[in-house]
Structure 1
Amino acid sequence: MSNQQTLDRIKQDIESNDVVLFMKGTPNFPQCGFSGQVAKILGHLEVPYKGVNVLEDGEIREGVKAFSNWPTIPQLYIKGEFIGGCDIVREMFQSGELVSAFKTAGVPVKDAAQA
């Protein structure tokens, strides 16, 4: 697959899903601690999302880094917007910014106050 085809596939995933997490492993079986932390936060907030296992496809794994200009996995996207990796998502979750970002984007989320 060409580099452009890989980037097109990444773009398609991001555009056709409200929330996408490029991660190592799957939402139910994360293969690294950082991916697991983000998946746990999304699960805690009951946010529906598509998990893309970058371990299954080396081109996607490298392509998503180029696509976002971000060197690490996991990577979270909300409504096409790159949010960040594990540290940023965790900080946003702790401050309440993540719930606000989901609500602003129109993504169903369980309010942290109810959690």
Structure 2
Amino acid sequence: MFSTPQRDYPLFDQQVRNAIAIRIAIVIAAFFGLAWSLLQWTLMTEQRFMMEGITRDFVQLEAVACAVAAVVALLYGAVRAAAWVVTAIRIRREQSGAAQRLAMQRVSAYV
């Protein structure tokens, strides 16, 4: 599906991809969380869903599916957030390492 593995992208591109994935996961989690809330509210207030029956069971099943989708989106966002932090640390280390190498080159030039 993808022509290049994730690890072959530059670190800045990986960080941008993770940030976008986090935002998408938040939107999906918010959507399904809101859908779950509305379905729960409907089950509590609508007269036709208060009685036991196949219609109530179907709405409950929909609510469970929405809750599962919201939790999965939140977990995916958390994993991407951790990946974003790891990438940020790797970027800092590379920048720090580059600065140290440049300083060592300058010092060795004078010695």
Using structure 2 for the length normalisation, give the TM-score: 0.22
Give the structure with the larger strand fraction. 1
Higher relative contact order at CA 8 Å, sep ≥6: structure 1 or structure 2? 2
Give the structure with the larger helix fraction. 2
